[in-house]
Amino acid sequence: MTVLDYLSVMLLIGGGGFFLAGTLGLLRFPDVCSRLHALTKADNVGLGLTVAGLALASESWAVAGKLLLIWVLVLLASASVSYLIAQGSMQRRKPS
């Protein structure tokens, strides 16, 4: 194994840790906003570390670029969707 491989494995394990913590938070936290807070850590940092680890292990720049694009798209979608879920839950809490 080269240095690159070790680095890749470490990033993947780190990403897995963030996903585990995010899932635990989603299951254990009491209300919508704190659950979203836990979930976005898995989406943003967890997926970011996973993508970085996979990009280091990928055989070409094209694959690495595609992985990066996936991360950017998920960031965009997860940030917007988290906002929409929080917005919806706040509207439901105080009925106009």
Q: Is 80 in the site for another protein (CB under 8 A)?
A: yes
Whole-number minimum distance, CB 73 to another protein, in Å?
8
Indicate whether 87 belongs to the interface with another protein (CB under 8 A): yes
Q: What is the 3-state secondary structure (H, E, C) of the chain?
A: CCHHHHHHHHHHHHHHHHHHHHHHHHHHCCCHHHHHHHHHHHHHHHHHHHHHHHHHHCCCHHHHHHHHHHHHHHHHHHHHHHHHHHHHHHHHHCCC
- Binding segment (CB under 8 A) for another protein, from list 33-41, 48-56, 57-65, 71-79: 71-79
Which positions touch another protein (CB under 8 A)?
73, 76-77, 80, 83-84, 87
